[in-house]
Structure 1
């Protein structure tokens, strides 16, 4: 799904930036903090439809206060220090006398702000400030991204990619998974009929056994390519030993890794597809194809791995090959 691709990319980039800011801060390397002020101003402005600007563009050296949105009446601070004292130090600033009706926002770019939202704060200037609603951290920001509509999420993905995406990847590797996707994408799959080699009853039994009835339509849609894919794997293996085996193993590896945190079999199944897509898109030998085709081919490979006993548990006596 495009939505999961957008979110996974956004999550990875923002979490990585937050981690780097935190780690570098511990050894007193603060350059990322400085550069991140403008980035986070733009980022949360997009998320919440604000117009935050770096306050130092108007008033130099405003210690403790970073951002201002005069049209929406907001003053904000971006900080890698996520503590009660940090917020209270900001609320004491004299700038609030100049902007008495402005609401204060605190954005923690490292650390978890859950506990802060339940605290009471010293607020000598009676600044408009609700800890529950006006304190943000990476988790709450990502939750907002997760609940965007698809068009908003795509636009936000483009912004993140421009700001945090790499111009080039220093290390990339060829992937057999990508090679088989390219082979499959060149096939006319509209002419494929269901092959007699697979035992439909056994596949249905495995679906029930793994509580995947919600995925049955997807499995039924793509299991018919078992025979076609089998032909392609045989062609692939003529290029060198263990090529198809390496594809099966990388898909199984994703299954094992993702199963640790999956909330349901349904989510796990589609997470494997997303992970396969990510590996392909990041491999050195990937040549771009329309995303819909890429998703279709990745789904075919994942369903095939399910049928062939490579992922998910097999019921006793399972045999996917028809006698």
Structure 2
């Protein structure tokens, strides 16, 4: 199983657990909540290197605190309720005063907490608590998983498989992305098929706007193939309508998934890596040497950059083929 499959499996299982917690009756919900505390204890320890333990082992039914890490001085409340009132209720509990040098964190296990992070909270005991970084949810945890290397992702996968379910059965399907790569792989990408884009200045302006340093040379070099890629897309669309549109939509979708996970350069190359996996996994991919595949993907992603499908556009940006 590759990196993308690991990530998708983790995403599916965490959201399935969240859905069960959110929709089950009170009796089942209590059982699931206790199971979630144990599960997230191990998951957070694995992901962040914490030394969390369940506080209920030493103090029964402690309000406001479920998990505690004495080494890193962290206390965490695990909750299926993601509201400002819930967080403030925890911060106001007297037990908080017993941990003045600790950091308080709040883990929402069934709701997206992105809006919750924007609130200001009453914190009467003055414990360390920064909503932007100390409120966790499934999405923030998945983003952390995405940034891990393959070895670390395998560890997370093994934990979730053992706790929440069996391996996902991956079935290969055809994709238009693989089809266009098959077409591009047959082309000669040499100096005689290069041509300056109509709005070369606009491309350089977009590179600067996104502060692309590592990807700059790649974009400048492969933007010269934009005209040829455009003609290949036209041939592609002659087979059936929306083929090129579906490829560009796939590239944009993968960009949206990773756009907030690192620097602009990291995001740019992450898109290429994810697309490489998608192509290799496609049933209709005609295998070619890896360096040729990477060349075709680089050219395709640079073309998508020019066409406004990835990265932010500067004000008044003119699409290079216009």
> Do they fold alike, i.e. is TM over 0.5?
yes
1:207-248: CA deviation from partner (whole Å, max 9, x where unpaired): 25x7346565223433566799799989x97xx9627x7652
Query: How much has 1:62 moved relative to structure 2?
Result: 3.6
State the secondary structure of the residue aligned to 2:76: strand
Query: How much has 1:71 moved relative to structure 2?
Result: 3.9
Which blocks of at least 5 consecutive residues in structure 1 are unaligned?
Answer: 319-323
- Greater C-alpha Rg: 1
Q: TM-score when scaled to structure 2?
A: 0.59
Of 153, 157, 162, the residue aligned with 2:158 is 162
Question: RMSD value over aligned CA atoms?
Answer: 5.7
Matched, 1:250 2:246: yes
| Structural mapping, 1:50-129, within 5 Å | 50-55=50-55, 58-59=57-58, 62=61, 64=63, 65-83=65-83, 84-85=85-86, 88=89, 92=93, 103=102, 105-109=104-108, 110-112=111-113, 113-114=116-117, 118-121=121-124, 129=127
Query: How much has 1:175 moved relative to structure 2?
Result: 1.0
State the secondary structure of the residue aligned to 1:297: helix
Matched, 1:211 2:206: yes
Distance 1:246 1:35, change over 3 A: farther
Distance 1:242 1:205, change over 3 A: farther
State the secondary structure of the residue aligned to 1:106: strand
- Work out the CA distance in 2 between the residues paired with 1:310 and 1:104: 42
Distance 1:156 1:107, change over 3 A: farther
Number of aligned residues = 292
**Contact in 1 for aligned 2:197/2:223 (Cα 8 Å):** no
Distance 1:163 1:73, change over 3 A: same
Distance 1:290 1:138, change over 3 A: farther
- Name the structure 1 match of 2:14: 17
Which blocks of at least 5 consecutive residues in structure 2 are unaligned?
Answer: 311-317
Matched, 1:175 2:175: yes
**Contact in 1 for aligned 2:172/2:282 (Cα 8 Å):** yes
1:44-90: CA deviation from partner (whole Å, max 9, x where unpaired): 3345432112345x459545443233444544332222344466458
Q: TM-score when scaled to structure 1?
A: 0.58
